[in-house]
Copies of this chain bind each other. A is one copy, B any other.
Amino acid sequence: MNKILVTGASGFLGRHVLLPLRTRGFEVHAVGRSHPPTDLAALAVWHTADVLQPEAIRNLLGQLRPEGLMHLAWDTTPGAYWTNPANLDWAAASLLLLSEFQRNGGRRVVVAGTCAEYEWTAGPMTEGHTPLRPASLYGCSKNAVREVLEAWAPGAGISWAWGRIFCVFGPHEKPQRLIPKVIARLLARNPVPFDPAASIQDFMDVRDTADAFAALFASPVEGAINIAEGHPVSIKSVLNEVGDCLGARHLLKFGELKANPNQPAELIAETRRLNTELDWFPSHSLPERLAETCQWWRTQLAPGSEP
């Protein structure tokens, strides 16, 4: 199996997955609504199509006939994606994509899932054990696609895996999200009022997440699998690390805002499947990745600018 198509390939996770797939010997094809960003053009054969347009997908898959599919495209507009009605369109597009992929000779598919499929209880979320009771339209729509994929794949002759991602950060994250926002404020030497930030989460650099997805695709591992560090840390400690990297820890004002009651106390992953079955571990420590991420944003943001 050599030819793989990546959807969402110019997105946050997708752009980082192209190189690890090439490194593993795949002929990487990417689909995007417009021309690829310059830095990605050489990493894949790019095809222009809108995954939300069934006719476009039908044409592309009919012509390309990839044996592999990594489906990462979805609406992730910061804040809005939890409840965006577009989740229905993405769930529908995902099912049609799977269907057309199989019709055109597809063999193995890996899809980006989410920790939001789980019931957010305390303790590590474990594949096949923690109840799947998504509280959001986003989590519910992803979970619905997985349920259908799981029921359909064996009869359709499709090998499949579903990587559930947790708290991903790193280069090219959307600037409205937590870590880029904090970095931008600290680089501008503005104080950052914050809630107590006691929530324990599972942070992972996007480059490690992408490498794990590439490893997952290249493996025979099937089913849902958590893609996470498995080393939960408080948001406060992550932000302090960021503050230290930027020499600006004193600007972080924890406790000045009230805690968000919707924030789970814990959002952490059991990673036994990833570490044992896939034998995959991140190549860098979290502090190293946070330092690199701060450095990347420093090169992106002129002093004083705030996204």
Is there contact, CB below 8 Å, between B140 and A155?
no
Is there contact, CB below 8 Å, between B89 and A96?
yes
Q: CA A98 – CA B91 in complex, angstroms?
A: 12
Q: Which of B88, B95, B96, B102 contacts A152 (CB 8 A)?
A: B88
Is there contact, CB below 8 Å, between B137 and A91?
no
Q: Which of B83, B98, B144, B151 contacts A148 (CB 8 A)?
A: B144
Is there contact, CB below 8 Å, between B134 and A140?
no
Is A45's beta carbon under 8 Å from chain B?
no
Chain B positions within 8 Å of A148 at CB level = 87-88, 91, 137, 140-141, 144
Is there contact, CB below 8 Å, between A152 and B85?
yes
Per-residue B-contact encoding for A153-168, CB less than 8 Å = 1, 0 else: 0011000000000000
Is A92's beta carbon under 8 Å from chain B?
yes
Chain B positions within 8 Å of A144 at CB level = 144-145, 147-148
Is A93's beta carbon under 8 Å from chain B?
yes
Min CB distance A75 to B, Å, is 12
Q: How often does this chain occur in the complex, in copies?
A: 2
Contacts of A209-245 to chain B: CB distance below 8 A: none
Is there contact, CB below 8 Å, between B88 and A98?
yes
Contacts of A65-99 to chain B: CB distance below 8 A: 83, 85, 87-89, 91-93, 95-96, 98-99
Is A55's beta carbon under 8 Å from chain B?
yes
Per-residue B-contact encoding for A92-136, CB less than 8 Å = 1, 0 else: 110110110010000000000000000000000000000000101
Is there contact, CB below 8 Å, between B95 and A99?
no
Is there contact, CB below 8 Å, between B152 and A87?
yes
Is A11's beta carbon under 8 Å from chain B?
no
Chain B: CB-nearest residue to A53: B54
Is there contact, CB below 8 Å, between B147 and A140?
yes
Q: Which of A102, A148, A156 has the most CB of B within 10 A?
A: A148
Min CB distance A303 to B, Å, is 41
20 more A-B residue pairs beyond the given contacts A141-B151, A144-B144, with a C-beta to C-beta distance below 8 A? A54-B54, A55-B55, A85-B102, A85-B152, A85-B155, A88-B95, A88-B98, A88-B99, A88-B148, A89-B95, A89-B96, A89-B99, A91-B92, A91-B148, A92-B92, A92-B93, A92-B96, A144-B145, A144-B147, A144-B148
What would be 7 A-B contacts, judged by CB atoms less than 8 Å apart?
A85-B155, A88-B96, A88-B148, A89-B95, A89-B96, A136-B151, A137-B155
